[in-house]
A and B are shown apart, each in its own frame.
Chain A
Amino acid sequence: DTAVSQTPKYLVTQMGNDKSIKCEQNLGHDTMYWYKQDSKKFLKIMFSYNNKELIINETVPNRFSPKSPDKAHLNLHINSLELGDSAVYFCASSQEEISGNTIYFGEGSWLTVV
């Protein structure tokens, strides 16, 4: 079984549309994250949730809204998509939100905005 699974893996959509990426982890972890990897492979944290509570919000435009219905799920909804939103979005999880914890990443969702 995949530890951190996210869907869809590929998404091509037009500017202005609204889209969602879903993420689920079966590791029993308390903390989940969303990271964005740009075309230069630079990986940057967007959000982290601990037990459904928002812990980190890294000055991401409010068009991005994470939702955690329970601690095993963290979905990412994006409104009014822009060309610059094209990237790979990684969901991840860790046992706790502390330094040195192992973070398990999903396989990524390739978002292309045209």
Chain B
Amino acid sequence: TQLLEQSPQFLSIQEGENLTVYCNSSSVFSSLQWYRQEPGEGPVLLVTVVTGGEVKKLKRLTFQFGDARKDSSLHITAAQPGDTGLYLCAGAKGNTGKLIFGQGTTLQVKP
């Protein structure tokens, strides 16, 4: 049973388009993180959200934590080829640092 459902799993868009990636669960998380992973490398943290309803922005990326802390979204405005990569959401339960990862969203942005 997948605790964190990420959708879509694959996304191929043109440069300049907007997109949203969703991360859903029936469980409550104390914090949720988004990572980006490029081929041949390890995941790199983009953002951590901890408060229900929290919105964080990182340049063209907007992250939102659901009010009930069960879901999250990542919105990219005017995607660029440099945004291409694997995006992973990961939640932590309780006060532990143990992360539960979603299946990932592979994003391809074509020039």
Contact = CB atoms under 8 A, between A and B. Distances in A.
B61 interface: no
Interface in B5-45: 30-31, 33, 37, 40-45
A108 B95 CA distance: 27
Interface residues of A, number: 26
Interface residues of B, number: 27
A43 B101 contact: yes
Contacts of B41: 107-108
Interface in B72-111: 86, 88, 90, 92-99, 101, 103-104, 106
B10 to A, nearest CB: 11
Contacts of B50: 99-100
**Pairs A-B, 8 closest by C-beta atoms:** A105-B42, A100-B31, A99-B92, A97-B97, A99-B30, A43-B101, A41-B104, A99-B31
